[in-house]
Chain A
């Protein structure tokens, strides 16, 4: 025997939650950036930022361990006595490798600024990645700097190697960065120095391959050439990056694909699977103004 009342209640609960989800989806798409749900998201992210920052720091050894395990998965078996000693050494090594990787990333970012094509009118703000989106469909990371540090929406973000994305949301202490591998991303770019223009779009799920699309017909692109941001707004994109930020290198040119779809493949410079440190290119002066205001405020 089944209880009709319980069945009705169960179905009603399911219907309510599904309807609520669809209502939220509809409202979210319909509202502007300052609407209720967007504001709620910003508020929640601001409130949870200290927890996420703390958890990120606390769980760093766990991540380091897994990172190390991935690199040494082919290691040979060792005897029990040595294992204890090696365990200690591994722990030290993981810590040292992490520090070295951080240092290398910072060095590579600094080297980017020395390139002659890199935009000069920016003030970089260095930040650490504290959270990452769990799905491949929304490729974004959260960083530990926010509007209090001079960050604003749509500012470009670079990491070791080149462009990684742009700021899509800020709270006072954190910022949301949409990566160039996000399905929504589009970056106006050109092949340097030939000047062939196009839009860099992702291939969702493949972090090592980008597509330079909408290339002007008849223009030739050769493998191995540099792709940089072009610094103008295209009708296909919503963002505006300053000219000269390196994006990647042309990795594959298929002439049929180029003629039919007007696109070539680009390998990004930045290692988007393992970003620990990034730099947000704020407008020159905004970061200092924010710092001055903070100091003046107390």
Chain B
């Protein structure tokens, strides 16, 4: 990612919209006992397109904002989302994926990591009560809903971040395509 004021503003605006949308609408829409979580998708999308360093920074900022506005234990969400952002960013850097449908498994995996790690952190920190098995159902529903939302969220984030991206995975894919036909030397590309 090209570090510039514009890039910071874009990511900040993205996070703000995602957190407000999450708290005021998505958290209140109950689907099969769970709800979608767009914040982790945005963190995963930024990490996927921009890499591990912007991914972990975005994860930290998103978690901090989420904890600030929900009154939850400060630092817990930051810790987990930092790890999620870093992991997705590293996946992109190491594997260099470019398939158009990859945001779906990436979004689902990031969400699964987030809900599982956050549950573990919450249990370790300050949940003293008995935990119902229904929590697992809620987690699974959230992962499935996020898998459905991943593609549009990733597409939206890519469009917004594109001016600041050093490397766009989808552009790379287009460049890697083999030429349809190779004509005689000097006439390549003219399809003769």
| Cα separation A191 to B22 with both chains bound (whole Å) | 38
A193 at the interface (CB under 8 A from B): no
Chain B residues contacting A132 (CB-CB under 8 Å) are 23, 27-28
Could you tell me if A48 and B20 are in contact, using CB atoms closer than 8 angstroms? yes
* Secondary structure of the B contact surface, majority rule: helix
Q: How far is the CB of A268 from chain B (nearest CB, A)?
A: 14
**The residue from B64, B70, B127 contacting A133, defined by CB atoms under 8 A apart:** B70
**The residue from B35, B60, B70, B130 contacting A21, defined by CB atoms under 8 A apart:** B60
Q: Which stretch (B74-82, B103-111, B146-154, B159-167) binds chain A?
A: B74-82
Chain B residues contacting A86 (CB-CB under 8 Å) are none
Interface size bucket, B side?
35 or more
| Cα separation A202 to B134 with both chains bound (whole Å) | 13
Q: How far is the CB of A211 from chain B (nearest CB, A)?
A: 7
Interface centre among B25, B39, B135 (most CB of A within 10 A): B25
For A, the interface residue count at a CB cutoff of 8 angstroms equals: 60
A9 at the interface (CB under 8 A from B): yes
**The residue from A25, A45, A48, A184 contacting B76, defined by CB atoms under 8 A apart:** A25
Nearest-neighbor residue (CB-CB) of A208 within chain B: B134
- Convert B103-137 into 0s and 1s, putting 1 for each residue whose CB lies closer than 8 angstroms to a CB of A: 00000000000000011001001111111111100
Chain B residues contacting A40 (CB-CB under 8 Å) are 68, 74
| Cα separation A115 to B46 with both chains bound (whole Å) | 54
Q: How far is the CB of A41 from chain B (nearest CB, A)?
A: 5
- Convert A192-221 into 0s and 1s, putting 1 for each residue whose CB lies closer than 8 angstroms to a CB of B: 000000000111111001010000000000
Nearest-neighbor residue (CB-CB) of B86 within chain A: A14
Could you tell me if B127 and A204 are in contact, using CB atoms closer than 8 angstroms? yes
Could you tell me if B30 and A51 are in contact, using CB atoms closer than 8 angstroms? no
Nearest-neighbor residue (CB-CB) of B130 within chain A: A203
A234 at the interface (CB under 8 A from B): no
Chain B residues contacting A9 (CB-CB under 8 Å) are 53
Q: How far is the CB of B10 from chain A (nearest CB, A)?
A: 19
| Cα separation A49 to B117 with both chains bound (whole Å) | 29
Query: Which A residues are within 8 Å of any B CB, using their own CB?
Result: 9-10, 13-14, 17-18, 20-29, 37, 40-41, 44-45, 48, 51-52, 55-56, 59, 62-63, 66-67, 70, 129-138, 140, 142, 168-169, 176, 183-185, 201-206, 209, 211, 273-274
Provide 14 A-B residue pairs closer than 8 Å at the C-beta atoms, listed in order of the A residue.
Answer: A10-B52, A14-B56, A18-B83, A25-B79, A55-B20, A56-B24, A133-B27, A134-B23, A136-B135, A137-B119, A183-B128, A205-B133, A206-B132, A209-B132
Query: Which B residues are within 8 Å of any A CB, using their own CB?
Result: 20-31, 35, 37, 39, 52-53, 56-57, 59-60, 63-64, 66-76, 78-79, 82-83, 86, 118-119, 122, 125-135, 138
